[in-house]
Amino acid sequence: MSARIDGTDSEESYAQALVAGGIDPAKAREVARKTAGKRKSDSQTEDLFGVAVEPARSAGTAIVPPTPREQIAPTLLDAASTIGTEPPSGSEIAYLHTILCQVGLPRGPKAVEGLTVFERMCGGAALRVTAGALWDGRQLVQQPIPYGANPRLVLAWLNTQAVRTRSPIIPVGDSATEFLRMLGKETTGGRNGTLTSFKKQIQALAACHMTLGFNAAGRAYTYNGQPVRQFEAWIQPRDSQQRPLWPGTVTFSDDYFQSLMDHAVPQDVRAMYALKGSALAMDIYAMLAERLHRISGRPVTLHWKSLREQFGQEYRGAEADKDFKKRSRSQAWTRSLRCSIAFLTGRWAV
């Protein structure tokens, strides 16, 4: 996986480097033009993972795309060229708890299959999620451990509203469909539609118990409880003509709300929405957003062991680091890292 950030001032050579990284030539020229100013103000070249790339062709030669390693969606390219050069303001700023920037929720169903407890630790941060139950009007229904992009997006949105209003009571619209639209997601029905998946994951999030452990200012802190104190689950009315009930508001527990207010990390809403199709991409972006602003002076080396602890704890055994490193060279990892770097720096990792 090549993760070089090319800070060249030349639009032509930068476009050449983007094409060498698998980006369409026309789109590469457009991105190079839009980000020229940003690159001139920050021309430091860095290789995050110690992997060199071939130098770009000299300016003036024809751009000939090589066999592409991957294709970055035009929507992500457009988002990156805007986000990387125009700082967020007002409603474009979202918030995550600092622990969830360092150790995220499970990313997929395989990570929680057959489990009622999920735990992840990295450095001075730890997260434990325990599945809970919700009353459906007739019985307590066991919920799964929340996983994937949906609970990440929902929790970020709820956090943001709580921080902005300084209130633990958050309005969530009059229906699940309206809430999905508020999150910027399309709504589709049916067993495998976005609405069904969304309901399942937000109910799992509302029911779960979280333990957050972290170190700060020489002390060890623990939050232990349910982030959501009150949630009215969807109840299917006896009258089939009446739509299922929707809570209208979600209420954070006092402890979680106070911990969030003390340890909220700003994120760019535009980046989160652009990456909402991948839990991995959202985690990488959150980690970099939380980490980069704390780095000053000498560069910081990211070791594969540390990255595995943060993003690949499912890899175990004697070859865990090696297996994770091999997996991280995949297109999904490469794309997620490149997009996150572009959103935060205005420069494409090529």
Contact 170, 182 (CB under 8 A): no
Tokens of 325: 């490193």
Looking at the structure, tell me whether residues 137 and 189 fall in a common domain.
yes
Tokens of 160: 């943001």
Distance, in Å, from the CA atom of 308 to the CA atom of 71, rounded to the nearest integer, reads 25
Task: State the Cα angle at 72 between 34 and 97, rounded to 5°.
Answer: 85
Looking at the structure, tell me whether residues 110 and 231 fall in a common domain.
yes
Spatial CA neighbour of 151 closest among 114, 126, 189, 118:
118
Distance, in Å, from the CA atom of 23 to the CA atom of 18, rounded to the nearest integer, reads 6
Spatial CA neighbour of 175 closest among 246, 276, 109:
246
Looking at the structure, tell me whether residues 18 and 53 fall in a common domain.
yes
Bridge partners, residue 315, by sequence: none
Looking at the structure, tell me whether residues 113 and 251 fall in a common domain.
yes
pTM (whole model) above 0.85: no
Looking at the structure, tell me whether residues 226 and 318 fall in a common domain.
no
Bridge partners, residue 128, by sequence: 119, 211
Contact 245, 234 (CB under 8 A): yes
Task: State the Cα angle at 153 between 134 and 244, rounded to 5°.
Answer: 40
Contact 188, 165 (CB under 8 A): no
Distance, in Å, from the CA atom of 266 to the CA atom of 98, rounded to the nearest integer, reads 9
Query: Which sign does the torsion angle of CA 93, 95, 98, 104 carry?
Result: negative
Looking at the structure, tell me whether residues 161 and 259 fall in a common domain.
yes
Last residue of a domain, one of 265, 286, 317: 265
On whether residue 128 sits in a domain, the answer given is: yes
**Residue 326 confidence (pLDDT):** 80
Distance, in Å, from the CA atom of 203 to the CA atom of 144, rounded to the nearest integer, reads 9
Looking at the structure, tell me whether residues 157 and 117 fall in a common domain.
yes
Distance, in Å, from the CA atom of 269 to the CA atom of 274, rounded to the nearest integer, reads 8
Spatial CA neighbour of 314 closest among 141, 7, 109, 172:
109
Task: State the Cα angle at 279 between 147 and 304, rounded to 5°.
Answer: 110
Looking at the structure, tell me whether residues 119 and 199 fall in a common domain.
yes
43 contacts: CB under 8 Å, gap ≥ 6:
7, 8, 9
Residue type, 270: R
**Residue 14 confidence (pLDDT):** 66
Looking at the structure, tell me whether residues 154 and 240 fall in a common domain.
yes
Distance, in Å, from the CA atom of 30 to the CA atom of 15, rounded to the nearest integer, reads 8
Tally of domains within the chain: 2
Q: What is the pLDDT along the chain (350 residues), one digit of tens a residue?
A: 333 334 444 677 767 766 665 566 776 777 677 666 655 555 443 333 333 333 333 444 343 444 444 556 677 777 777 887 788 888 889 999 999 998 999 988 888 889 999 998 888 889 999 999 988 778 899 999 999 988 998 899 899 999 999 999 988 776 767 777 777 777 777 777 777 788 888 889 989 999 999 888 889 988 898 898 876 655 454 444 545 556 677 889 999 999 999 999 999 988 888 888 888 889 988 988 888 877 777 777 777 777 887 887 777 778 888 888 787 777 667 777 777 777 776 665 54
Looking at the structure, tell me whether residues 117 and 45 fall in a common domain.
no
On whether residue 28 sits in a domain, the answer given is: yes
Domain that holds residue 42: 4-71+297-345
